[in-house]
Amino acid sequence: MKNVVLLTLDAARKDAFGYCGNKKDLSPTFDELASQSLVFTKAQTTGPYTQASFPGILTSSHFLEFGQPRGLSPKRTLVSEPVHDAGIVTAAFHSNPYLCDFLGWNRGWDTFYDSMDEEVDSRIPYVRGDRINRRAIEWLTSHSRQHRDKPFFMWLHYMDVHEPYMPNQRFADLADPALSMTQDEMYALFEDVILQRDVSDTDRVAVLRRLYDVHVREIDTYFAELLNCLDELGNLSETAIIVTNDHGDEFNEHGGLSHDDKMYSELINAPLLIYGAGEQGICDKVVSNTDIPPTIVNLFELPAVDAFEGQSVVPSSGIAERGVFGEAMDQRSKKGGDLDRDIYFYREGDLKIIHRPEPETWELYNLAADPKEQTNIFESANEAERLKAKILPRIRRWNC
């Protein structure tokens, strides 16, 4: 494969996409691409928020691998590093402060735009996807004109689905024409409901989900613009495209909002598709976002990277059946996160076990019979002890 594009979508729930079962027509561009792609039905993120998930996406490792993170550890290998070392041109465009150059995420990129110097709306603290596209398209156009013979790896990250859920009316007109709110009204919901994690008024929570859905339709338009650029430049036919999220968002499925330290499906399920890798169809094997860096390296036909914990998922016939892990810590009650309030999950097939060391709790769910994770079967399931033994060695392993 000549080129690879990785698109990550902040806070984008799997169940928001048509190709994953949503019936609201929020994602026509993603759905069309999915019909020509390899789609993974059981992909999992390694954590429920950006800091916990992105070590999987870009370094094929887990969040708490070395204890409490202080920026990106030099012990981790960013996928951009071996790709860049192989002579492939690398470029990144995003606006998430947790992934900025100050924290070490700029290693291995020829071009790294993190937008930290940009002016943004005080109520929407990120650069929107249209401006991310503008930077990326300028770069793609320049690269195509000056270095057409050189392969490239490009990563883009759209923040727009992320709270405070304040979409422009033109996107509401596309996704939900009956929804009409001022920006002040939207922001009041953010302050009064999301920030307070107040789920007492189900109608207000429902409105938040409608605003969220409008943002999904918004990023679909940005993705369409990006695909059109790749096509017009003649790159689309020689480019593999990987699309996924970093985590989802909760709308009172388990008593909360946003994306805190929980390991339920609304936060952990990933809408993972790979286009242009020589394979189309559905893969029902359990995979992790730690599998993304090995897959990128494999698509460029580069040697495997020893530091990567995941495996390439193309071709899908070569995926080794195994369980996947995730981990996080409480980020709300203590600045920098509270490592004494950690949480872990392990999924194998349709069984998922969740553990909090303090206070010690265990949950086990059969996702085939109970996809909304409402019935904890840990005390009664025959598999409970075996799955518990899988997760115990990972608990606070940096202290061992």
In three-state form (DSSP H/G/I as H, E/B as E, the rest C), the secondary structure along the chain is CCEEEEEEECCCCHHHCHHHCCCCCCCHHHHHHHCCEEEEEEEECCCCCHHHHHHHHHHCCCCCECECCCCCCCCCCCCHHHHHHCCCEEEEECCCHHHCHHHCCCCCCCEEECCCCCCCCCCCCCCCHHHHHHHHHHHHHHHHHHCCCCCEEEEEEECCCCCCCCCCHHHHHHHCCCCCCCHHHHHHHHHHHHCCCCCCCHHHHHHHHHHHHHHHHHHHHHHHHHHHHHHHCCCHHHEEEEEEECCCCEECCCCCEECCCCCCHHHHEEEEEEECCCCCEEEEEEEEHHHHHHHHHHHCCCCCCCCCCCCCCCCHHHCCCCCEEEEEEECCCCCCCEEEEEEEEEEECCEEEEEECCCCEEEEEECCCCCCCCCCCCCCCCCHHHHHHHHHHHCCHHHC
Q: What percent of the chain stands above pLDDT 90?
A: 94
Output phi, psi for 318, to 5 deg: -95, 0
The pLDDT assigned to 92 comes to: 98
Ramachandran region of residue 63, left (φ > 0), alpha (ψ -120 to 50) or beta?
alpha
Lowest model confidence (mean pLDDT) among 91-105, 220-234, 325-339: 325-339
Residues 281 and 348 in one domain: no
Name the domain count of the chain: 2
Average pLDDT (78-86) is 98
Residue in 291, 244, 267, 175 with CA at minimum distance from that of residue 33? 244
Structure tokens at 93: 């465009």
Give yes or no for a contact between 247 and 47, defined as CB atoms under 8 angstroms apart: yes
Domain check: are 56 and 139 in the same one? yes
Question: What CA–CA distance (Å, rounded) separates 37 from 134?
Answer: 26
**What is the pLDDT, as a whole number, of residue 1?**
61
Sort strands 281-288 and 37-44 into parallel, antiparallel or unpaired.
parallel
Mean pLDDT calculated for residue range 152-169: 98
Distances (CA, A) of 132 to 1, 122, 160, 225: 25, 18, 11, 11
pLDDT in the model for residue 70: 85
The residue among 268, 288, 320 that closes a domain is: 320
Per-residue pLDDT at 119: 87
- CA-to-CA distance for 201 and 233, rounded, in angstroms? 49
Q: Are residues 185 and 236 both part of a single domain?
A: yes
- Residues 6+ positions from 361 with CB-CB distance below 8 Å: 354, 355
Residues 176, 43, single domain; the answer is yes
pLDDT, averaged across the chain = 96
Domain boundary among 320, 353, 376: 320
Q: Are residues 314 and 334 in the same domain?
A: no
Percent of the chain predicted with pLDDT > 70: 100
Give the model confidence (pLDDT) of 301-317 as tens digits. Answer: 999 999 999 999 999 99
- The sign of the CA dihedral 278, 78, 105, 289 is positive
CATH of the domain at 29: 3.40.720.10
Q: How far apart are CA 360 and CA 312, in angstroms?
A: 35
What tokens were used for 153?
């790896």
Distance CA 329, CA 335 (A): 12
331-352 pLDDT, tens digit each: 988 888 999 999 999 999 999 9
**pLDDT computed for residue 148 by the predictor:** 79
Using alpha carbons only, give the angle 89, 95, 98 rounded to the nearest 5 degrees: 100
Token pair of 255, please? 């008593």
**Domain final residue, candidates 320, 355, 371:** 320
Question: Based on the domain organization, do 84 and 24 belong to the same domain?
Answer: yes
Tokens at residue 248, please? 């989802």
Each residue's pLDDT tens digit, 13-62: 999 999 999 999 999 999 999 999 999 999 999 999 999 999 999 999 99
Look at residue 101 and tell me whether its pLDDT is greater than 80: yes
> How confident is the model over 150-155, as a mean pLDDT?
97
Same domain, 339 and 315: no
Does 290 share its domain with 345? no
β-pairing, 361-366 vs 351-356, is antiparallel
Q: Domain limits at 86?
A: 3-320
pLDDT tens track for 230-263 = 999 999 999 999 999 999 999 999 999 999 999 9
Residues 253 and 390 in one domain: no
The CATH number covering residue 335 comes to 3.30.1120
Other beta carbons less than 10 A from residue 170's beta carbon: 10
Do 266 and 353 belong to one domain? no
Q: Are residues 314 and 373 in the same domain?
A: no
Does residue 224 sit in the same domain as residue 102? Answer: yes
